[in-house]
Structure 1
Amino acid sequence: MDIGVSTFLTDYGIDPLVLARGVEERGFAALFLTEHTHIPTSRRSPWPGGAELPRQYSHTYDPFVALAAMTAMTSRITLGTGVTLINQHHPINLAKQVASVERLAPGRVELGVGPGWNKEEMAHHGIDPRRRTPEMLERIEALRAIWTQDEAEYHGEFVDFDPIWSWPKPTAAPPVLIGGGGPTVLDRVLSHGDGWIPLRVRLKELDAFAERIAELRRRTADAGRDHLSVTIFGAVPKPDALDSYAQAGVDRVLFTLTDREGPDADAATLAELDTLADLLRP
């Protein structure tokens, strides 16, 4: 099982290039960045994590700009998004952004996607939250068309464009990881994904989660598909937890870095990476 880290990369936290170099030097397998284009000041949607929305949500870097810079500081680790709010991007623009980053780090880029939870944020992008899941699936299809076809076109209910020329193409279509943990998420993983990236599976839920992974494996085999990866975002950084994740069939875990601010943010985050890196050693 691979071990990586994820973070809300903010303008007040660790320098992005220092972080990328630190993650790779310590032997981690991956670095994933979160995304919010913005946070509306008037918020009615409840934050799934609790009552008060943390400051970091409104201070994140554009993940693709940051990941592009990180490609120059790394040569081995997977660079990904956990998750891109795909409905808030036009697929023609997003296809070029992702392909451009992948060309800078061939075979090392993964695109985690989700429809999001903040209805006000969606509304600012013209997204009807009642239709966010089917719209997400169309956008995934459109991305793959642009990545793989010289004259791509797509005609759906939410995405519609006539044949286009768009380069660069990625060296290979980046894996698309489907976010979410609801009762129908495996349907979407099987129909549109190359993997599954659920958020913070609690240890007391691992038995049930292992059954869902077993279901995914069965359905993958029945559909004649290749292995679909399972990445847990927000894993518990404890040895016993890692053993439990591995036994459940998880392919990769991502530890979430602490949000830090101020002149000591770089040093404190690197020290946290040192502590987490102890879990890489048998």
Structure 2
Amino acid sequence: MNIGISTPLPAYKVNAAFVASTAEKLGFESIWYAEHPILPVHTTSRFPGSDDGVIPWTYAHFADPYIALAQASGATTTIKLGTGITLIPERNPLILAKTVSTLDLFSGGRFILGVGTGWLREETEMMGGDFDHRWSQTKESLLALKELWTKDEAEFHGKYYDFPPVKMFPKPAQVPHPPILIGGMAKNVLRRIADVGDGWLPNRVSPQDIETSRKQLDSLATERGRNPNAITISVYGQLPDRQSAADFVNAGADRVIVRPDLKETESEVASELERIADKVL
């Protein structure tokens, strides 16, 4: 099984190079960093991960995922490097294209671009995103990114992003570009993946959900003339349990990403990753 690890919050207690190199030695397939660049002090947005909707204090304590993964890249050779997720409406594709392609090139083609549209209205709007139409903006950005990654002279003309022919190098190591995994549980998420993505990155799902969604994804891909086997499912943020991971894989998942408990020293992190490895690898 392909088993990855996510990064608990605060995400900067132990440097990414140590965490990633330890995870690689233990046999984990991938390491994932998420993002919220800011946490508004005053917000009416509800946190989707709890019944009471209260945003955890730890959501002010994300590391920048690209800097963390760049550090991880330099200390490893095989482990894949993923964002779980990048908030696409909060990043300009002209800048993000170079960030992604440089990281993918320097890591030897190990980057996975997990993306999302966000749920925190005030943050999205402060960062220049159109919260009410954030999928439309995200789709535009993904299309612009693909142009920048695959063409020597790229241009794009849309509602949110509009630029004349430009040159953007280096290109990513992966051809045509790193895989784009779309996160979330929106009702149209599978259709969106079939249209512009390379995989699904859900978190609050059951094996039964994965089995049903895998069939739907296969059908949607076939309708669009795409190879269903090229569209992956990576189940995010799960408890470290071998049977649970196997159930997800048997239901159609390609990867399961488990969540460690927060530890604040290198020795504690090493012990925690060893504990998880014993449970799932």
Question: Do both share a fold (TM > 0.5)?
Answer: yes
Map 1:32-51 → 2, pairs under 5 A: 32-50=32-50, 51=53
Question: Which piece of structure 1 moves more, 209-218 or 1-10?
Answer: 1-10
Within the alignment, does 1:186 sit opposite 2:174 as a pair? no
Q: 1:14 maps to what in 2? A: 14
**What corresponds to 1:220 in structure 2?**
221
Structure 1: segments with no counterpart, 5+ residues: none
Question: 2 CA distance for matches of 1:161 and 1:101?
Answer: 23
Cα distance between partner residues in 2 of 1:136 and 1:219 = 20
State the one-letter code of the partner of 2:74: A
Relative to the length of structure 1, the TM-score reads 0.93
Identity %: 36
Residues 142 and 123 of structure 1: CA distance in aligned 2, closer, same or farther (over 3 Å) = same
- Distance in 2, matches of 1:12 and 1:5, equals 15
Distance in 1, Cα, partners of 2:29 & 2:147? 29
Give the length in aligned residue pairs.
275
Gaps in structure 2 of 5+ consecutive residues: none
Pairing 1:1-282 to 2, within 5 Å after superposition: 1-8=1-8, 10=10, 12-50=12-50, 51-172=53-174, 173-201=177-205, 205-226=206-227, 227-261=230-264, 265-281=265-281
C-alpha displacement at 1:257, in angstroms?
2.1
RMSD: 1.5
| Secondary structure of the corresponding residue to residue 7 of structure 1 | coil
Distance 1:158 1:21 in 2: 39
User: For residues 209-243 of structure 1, what are the alpha-carbon distances to aligned partners after superposition, in whole Å with 9 as ceiling and x for unaligned?
Assistant: 31111111222233221320100111232122122
> How big is the shift at 1:73?
0.6
Q: Is the 8 A contact 1:8 1:57 kept in 2?
A: no
Contact 1:138 1:156 in 2 (8 A): yes
Match of 1:250, SS? Answer: coil
Deviation at 1:105, TM superposition (A): 1.0
Residue pair 1:86, 1:114 contacting (<8 A) in 2 also: yes
Greater Cα shift, 91-100 or 47-56: 47-56
Give the secondary-structure state (helix, strand or coil) at the position aligned to 1:253.
strand
Q: Distance in 2 between matches of 1:8 and 1:35?
A: 12
Equivalent position SS for 2:238: coil
Aligned to 1:234, what secondary structure does the other structure show?
strand
Which sits farther off after the overlay, 216-225 or 228-237? 216-225
The Cα of 1:69 is off from its aligned counterpart by 1.4
C-alpha distance in 2 between matches for 1:212 and 1:166: 36
Change (3 A) 1:239 1:12: closer
On the 8 A contact 1:8/1:56 being kept in 2, the answer is: no
Distance 1:44 1:60 in 2: 20
TM-score (norm 2): 0.93
The alignment partner of 1:162 has SS state of strand
Q: Tell me, in whole angstroms, the C-alpha distance in 1 between the residues paired with 2:142 and 2:155.
A: 13
